[in-house]
Amino acid sequence: MNARPATLLVIFGATGDLAQRMLLPSLLGLERDGLLPDRLAILGAARTELTRHEFRSQAHELLVQQLDDDREDWTEAMDRLLSRIDYLPVDLSSEASLDTFTADVDQRRGDGDVLFHLSTAPSWYPAICSGLARAGLNGENARVMMEKPIGHDLLSSMEINDCIGQSFAEQQIYRVDHYLGKEGVQNLLALRFSNALFEPLWNSQHIEQVQITVAETVGLEDRAGYYDEYGAMRDMVQNHVLQLLCLTAMEPPARFDPTAVRNEKLKVLRSLRPIDGRESESCSASGQYSAGAIDGEAVPGYLDELGRDSDTETFVALRAHIDNWRWSGVPFYLRTGKRLPKRLTEIYIRFRPVPHSIFQHDRSSIKPNALIIRLQPEEHISLCLMNKKPGLDRDGVQLSQVALDLDRHNAFDGVRRRMAYERLYLDAIDGNGTLFVRRDEVEAAWQWVDTIFEGWKANDVTPRKYPAGTWGPSSAVVLSERHGHSWRE
Ligand code: BG6
């Protein structure tokens, strides 16, 4: 009975947006399917003075709003989840308040495991971690999960990592990049490393270019304060986009375990050619949306949403190179932005053209093969192949490109799509760090990104305007066209 130790999950920032939109719903999903450990208790913590009852009713209301179907089905799970939840207010700016809080946590956890999830502004991480250490809550059975961004450049991220490192060992730290918890992102690894088909072609000899797009239609939402300080490069490129790049480009790890996988990702990050000096102008483009329309609806510009002037970029496009044997000479075009025409996360791998065409009459219509891995909004894989158009071909063979399509929704019909945090929570509870980001990865990513910022500063590069609902400024188009390539749209 009860072979698993009791676990206490403490969520700092429990009244915040992330907790309410993602964390609690993920826990509910796990609860419904009986995947939460029997003896798991959840403690929400935030500055707001709330009683357990008030927090539970708030959580209940929010969860109900998010359940669009099968409401009946969820009632029991909801009751079970809420009965696990307690709440304690804590003022992180006061050592005394933190100490009172940690003393309470210490009592609750007994000799069980404890997982702290820091879902606050990262500037609180050092204070929280040292408070936990003061109370002796950093022993072997304690783990700490923390949200990005860790710092806003290499130096500040090192400072935060150093502070946290004084309280917790690296293997106790689970840095979240929620993209790694996404089904489609994990399938990228499955696709690459469980099919013998791709590996022989997965290199510069056969691949001409790779494009990674993470496009969003949303604007500032309610995050003006945070977003304006970070911008698209720090908010998306430094983490999600570079993680997708790593998974696309890394060497096959020997095993699917935390050390092997993260070692290979790190090698990719460390092989990224710095975009510095003059390169920062020819290999990067930044933009900021002005008023425009998305799906026929007028949307305001960034500065109007923000209510003041700002040079923060809401769009970034980059032409990156990985300087190693596998990828020598292959451009990786990366782009991400807010208020783009559609929500889309996609990896486009374009193969080299055939070396010679035997079809003299239709030579120009031979298009290079492409593999398109769409991760969002739907999970879809297309392999684009040339085919003969049906017909008698009296004037020569007519060709056309068609796609072999794999719609993962249909292929796995009836399987509920999990939220990223469902997987991440279970892994953190089990102590599996494979889908979390190691300190050296975070720092290598910052180092690369910092160089681009330095180049922008030295060359007075400021974001160019692009109307909301378009694919970024014209400088992004030039970035690829200069090399005879074009973005997939
Ligand atoms: C977050 C960023 O990490 O990812 C947000 O801070 C962004 O700005 C979000 O909107 C995108 O995540 P998803 O899962 O909606 O693609």
Nearest-CA residue for atom 6 of ligand 1 = 235
Nearest-CA residue for atom 14 of ligand 1 = 179
In sequence order, the β-bridge partners of residue 214 are 336, 345
Contact residues of ligand 1, CB 6 A cut-off: 216, 235, 376
From the CA of 215, how far away is ligand 1's center (Å)? 10
Ligand 1 atom at minimal distance to the Cα of residue 235 = 6
Ligand 1 atom at minimal distance to the Cα of residue 177 = 3
pLDDT digits (tens, 9 = 90+) for 207-241: 999 999 999 999 998 899 899 999 999 999 999 99
Q: How far apart are the first and last CA of the chain?
A: 56
Q: What burial class does residue 166 get, using C-beta atoms within 10 Å of its C-beta: 0-12 exposed, 13-18 middle, 19+ buried? A: exposed
User: What is d(CA 145, CA 67) in angstroms, rounded to the nearest whole number?
Assistant: 26
User: What is d(CA 401, CA 1) in angstroms, rounded to the nearest whole number?
Assistant: 59
- Domains located in the chain, CATH noted: 6-175 (3.40.50.720), 180-418+438-481 (3.30.360.10)
Ligand 1 atom at minimal distance to the Cα of residue 420 = 14
pTM of the full structure: 0.96
In sequence order, the β-bridge partners of residue 381 are 373, 406
pLDDT digits (tens, 9 = 90+) for 388-427: 999 998 888 889 999 999 999 889 988 888 999 999 999 9
Nearest-CA residue for atom 4 of ligand 1 = 236
Q: What are 105's two structure tokens?
A: 């946590």
From the CA of 345, how far away is ligand 1's center (Å)? 11
Ligand 1 atom at minimal distance to the Cα of residue 148 = 3
E strands along 24-167, which residues? 40-46, 85-89, 113-118, 142-146
- Average of per-residue pLDDT values in the chain: 94
pLDDT at 1: 44
Which of 214, 234, 235, 243 maximizes ligand 1 atoms within 8 Å of its Cβ, making it the mutation to test the pocket?
235
Choosing from 240, 361, 409, 485, which is the catalytic residue?
240
User: What is d(CA 285, CA 456) in angstroms, rounded to the nearest whole number?
Assistant: 10
pLDDT digits (tens, 9 = 90+) for 310-364: 999 999 999 999 999 999 999 999 999 999 999 999 999 999 999 998 887 766 7
List the one residue out of 98, 89, 132, 105 whose CA is nearest residue 41. Answer: 105
From the CA of 180, how far away is ligand 1's center (Å)? 12
> Amino acid letter at 4?
R
Verify cis geometry, omega within 30 degrees of 0, for the bond prior to 149. Answer: yes
User: What is d(CA 360, CA 381) in angstroms, rounded to the nearest whole number?
Assistant: 31
Q: Which residues contact 172 (CB under 8 A, 6 or more apart)?
A: 138, 140, 142, 143, 144
List the one residue out of 33, 119, 120, 112 whose CA is nearest residue 70. Answer: 33
Say whether pLDDT at 88 is over 90.
yes
Whether 206 is catalytic = no
Please answer whether residues 232 and 337 qualify as being in contact, where contact means their C-beta atoms are separated by less than 8 angstroms. yes
